[in-house]
Structure 1
Amino acid sequence: MNILLQQSTINNLQSEIKITGSKSESNRLLLLQALYSNIQIENLSNSDDTRVMSQALSSTSNIVDVHHAGTAMRFLTAYFAFQKGREVVLTGSDRMKERPIKILVDALRELGADISYLETEGFPPLKINGTNPTKNKVTLQANVSSQYISALLLIAPKLENGLELTLEGNITSVPYIKMTLRLLEDLGIETSFKDQTIKVKQQSAINNQIATVESDWSSASYFYSIIALSKVGTKITLSSYKAHSLQGDAVLADIYLQFGVKTTFKTNRLVLQKVEKLNNLSIIELDLSNSPDIAQTITVTCFALGLECLLTGLHTLKIKETDRLLALKTEIEKLGGMVTITTNSLHLKASNNLKSQVAIATYNDHRMAMAFAPLALKTSLIINDAEVVSKSYPGFWNDLKTIGFQISQ
């Protein structure tokens, strides 16, 4: 489904957008719920990724297909590795078969897992024969994906002797690791993270728990972009959010101050308001190594405002749903911008050249569709395969209509 976004103006300033739970928190809690059945989860994400994760954990089939869900692939690889007696083929989409998983598989094998590759060495699909762990210490390269680390930490309390994980190199996306540890600690599981070593103690049972998932900050980023592109005084309210979030993307509140967007917390709601024009701002420079998922949103915001933009710490974006750095470069240049990329950075030159009626390719990547949508406040554009947003935010287009976006198929 391709949609046309006609040039629009936000006209419903009283709207409150209800954003469902973070898929990062939801998927972690679902795996923990599979290990400890007395966990009750509230405000679970309604995203495709979370639905896939939930179905996979409850499936009795010996073939589990996660489609495009990268988080599910990493977490489930660790989960099934030590489900003794269970044999599973874990597979996914064509793109998933191009996304590396060797670092995680090597670590699990070192702990005693029986995992083999069915097609290309180092990539899904995987054949997993559930075993008992034989060791409780492992070393992992830490600068590729924090999901490898979180996958190990989530299963750690159910391993016979817990886990001691030593991280090598610069640690990427630290907030996501801290999120995982905090969720474990909230369940009463003892953890420590000192220097490059993380320890999780074994715990066979926990007390009854109700875990409430905070709404997704990555999804909030698109509304930050919308407010940044709007006139002074424009306001949107989002729910449900915490002033002290576990999510790394909560840094949006600080970043978007540079764009004149003020964030106010009111009874678990975010009030976003454009409070000033960008009179003297010419360049945005950010290290997003701890929050790479908001890179697309920030890049498009800068492009729409005619700002130069230099983003670093983006090395994980090349192994996401698509090569997000290349995809950003391709689509922004179609719109009239100029972008230079390296393996871990993006440099957008300042430009006021914004073409109209350009069709944006989304590359099976939900964030490409949603990051470019705010451009409709500046020009008309087409979003190809717009239904891809269901991966993380199924109600996105309806929520944009609520605040005044003109959308047609």
Structure 2
Amino acid sequence: MFTGTLRVKIHEAASLRPTDFQKRHNVTFGKLGDATQQLLDPYVSIDVDEKFIDKSTTKKQTNDPKWDESFIHEVENASTLGITIFHQALPSDVFVANCTIPFDDVFERQEQEQQEFWVDLEPEGKIKIRVDVKWTQESTPKKEVSRRQITTTAKDQPFLNRRRGAMRRRVHQVNGHKFMATFLRQPTFCSHCREFIWGLGKQGYQCQVCTCVVHKRCHLSVVTKCPKKKDEQNKAQQEIVQRFNVNVPHRFAVHSFKRLTFCDHCGSLLYGIFRQGLKCEVCSMNIHRRCQENVANNCGINTKQLAEILSEMGITMDKTPPRKTRRSARDALNFDTEFTKEEPVLTPVPNDIVRCINQEEFAGFSFTNAEFGPERKIVC
């Protein structure tokens, strides 16, 4: 947890690309438009523990923007710093990429004097930032201890008055998916439970990377990993994932539907008179052509029943991937220096206590401590 002054400087970003959600309607002669030719109007949103604090200006028509803008804020009990890039559009801004930086990594970089660094974004691109932190010297009591309060300096206040509502869109990260509340303009079915999504306004959650649509109640139960998620797991994490992994590819073929059919991935209607979409030859899953590369390898698996079984077993999908904690010299500041210099001493167990132990539990075990002589030999 960090309490103090946070200073973030956004330098530049590189290799930004529109997501499949943004270019899902860019169709030219039956093929998706080239994402590399589509330029963005990007800006950066900064949040601490998933709470928005500031935003940068918008750069027009570029996939490699440069900002060189600084933001200073006072934060309390903060654990993670979030960087999200949006594309400015109407009626609502579109997600481009994001990343999460634990403050433990920031502390380690500050000790190594590497406050300026590049960060890889998901699903595409990278961003160059500089993060400086200054711990609070004296802790003053707060009226509301349960809430983390964020205050801004006077010079940064104008940033909060522009498009304030557009910046409060949260990105819910579950199993690699980037879910955001979305307004569905046509009848849509949930890709998890296959039920119709009812409601007005922003009825469901849609992944901004693979375009799958689910109920708000279902987004925490999604068991399949997003196909566009970067695989950056270490050995220990891979061993955990291998214990439970859904990886059964579909066998899609072009199909002509004789009645109104909805896509089982994005939930929207399959348009056309004939050859409207693709159908799996094994599990009969129906999808758009544009959704084929975004469908998870879960052929023949009922994801709703699987999620219910895992829930009964006490296994839930983590909202954020497991992260290995890093240790630094700051973790040992509260230890007594005289105590840490002492060598560990092993205190022998008295013979009376040893005789009271059930010896059958230690059958075949033998141990001799040379420092206490042959009378300390224990043979079972």
Which bin holds the TM-score, normalised by the shorter protein?
under 0.3
- Higher percent of residues as strand: 2
TM norm structure 1 = 0.21
Which of 1 and 2 has greater Rg? Answer: 2
TM-score normalised by length of structure 2: 0.23
Structure richer in helix, relative to its length: 1
Q: Which has the higher contact order (CA 8 A, sep 6+)?
A: 1
